[in-house]
């Protein structure tokens, strides 16, 4: 998740509060929480719509496909995937991710190669092929969608300067 989303959310909430404050004297109290984006309803299925009414589904969130590496939020975080991976075959027979992220192809495809740790077995043996414990990439690396976050988040990521310094690849 991008670092700025919690900030943005906080700003939104603040704006909402002050407006609410000013209106209070003139109007009847409105509901305490106003969710501007129906996608942010925690009950994403019903979104507060009474049970006897039909809730029309929201548009599906789209996978972000910008090919721009996102900063990591903490040490050792597996970086998120900055592109769509629809229909990439990741089976016992083949690993589409490694078409580009394998060391030998990375430069050609302008993809960051997986770190050397991905070639080490749990017994510390260094392999030529990716280690089986790292084979299923999407166990740790995930795509991001444009879905708005459901709840505010106060998590503070790495300081920008820590981020800028070369980080040890796990």
Partner 1 sequence: MTGGPVRRIVAGVLARLKPFWTTFRSPAVHLSLGFLTLGGFIAGVIFWGGFNTAMEATNTEAFCTGCHEMRDNVYPELQQTIHFSNRSGVRAVCSDCHVPHDWTYKMGRKMQASKEVWGKIFGTIDTREEFLEHRLVLAKNEWARLKANDSRECRNCHQYDSMDLTRQSRRAAWIHQNYLGTGKNTCIDCHKGIAHQLPNMKGIPQG
Positions that interact with ligand HEC (CB under 6 A)? 86-87, 100, 109
* Candidate residues 111, 147, 152, 158; the one interacting with partner 1 per rule CB under 8 A: 111
Spatial separation of the C-alpha atoms in residues 33 and 151, rounded to whole Å: 12
Q: How far is the CB of 82 from partner 1 (least distance, A)?
A: 9
**What φ, ψ does residue 32 adopt, rounded to 5°?**
-60, -45
Please tell me whether residue 109 binds partner 1 under the rule CB under 8 A: yes
Provide the 10 A C-beta neighbour count for residue 152.
14
Size of the chain in residues: 170
Q: Which stretch binds partner 1 (CB under 8 A): 20-28, 47-55, 93-101, 153-161?
A: 93-101
Three-state DSSP class for 112?
Answer: coil
Binding site residues, partner 1, CB under 8 A:
65-68, 83-84, 86-87, 89, 91-94, 96, 99-100, 105, 108-111
């Amino acid at each position: 998740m991008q670092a700025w989303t919690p900030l943005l959310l906080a700003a939104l909430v603040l704006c909402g509060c002050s407006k609410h404050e000013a209106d209070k004297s003139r109007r009847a109290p409105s509901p305490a929480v106003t969710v501007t984006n129906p996608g942010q309803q925690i009950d994403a299925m019903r979104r507060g719509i009474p049970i006897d009414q039909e809730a029309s589904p929201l548009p599906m969130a789209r996978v972000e496909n910008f090919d721009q590496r996102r900063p990591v939020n903490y040490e050792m975080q597996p970086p998120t995937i900055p592109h769509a991976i629809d229909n990439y075959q990741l089976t016992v027979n083949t690993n589409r991710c490694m078409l580009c992220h394998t060391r030998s192809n990375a430069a050609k495809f302008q993809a960051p190669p997986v770190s050397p740790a991905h070639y080490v077995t749990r017994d510390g043996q260094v392999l030529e092929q990716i280690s089986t414990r790292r084979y299923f990439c999407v166990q740790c690396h995930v795509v991001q969608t444009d879905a708005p976050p459901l709840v505010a988040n106060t998590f503070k990521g790495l300081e920008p300067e820590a981020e800028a310094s070369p980080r040890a690849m796990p």
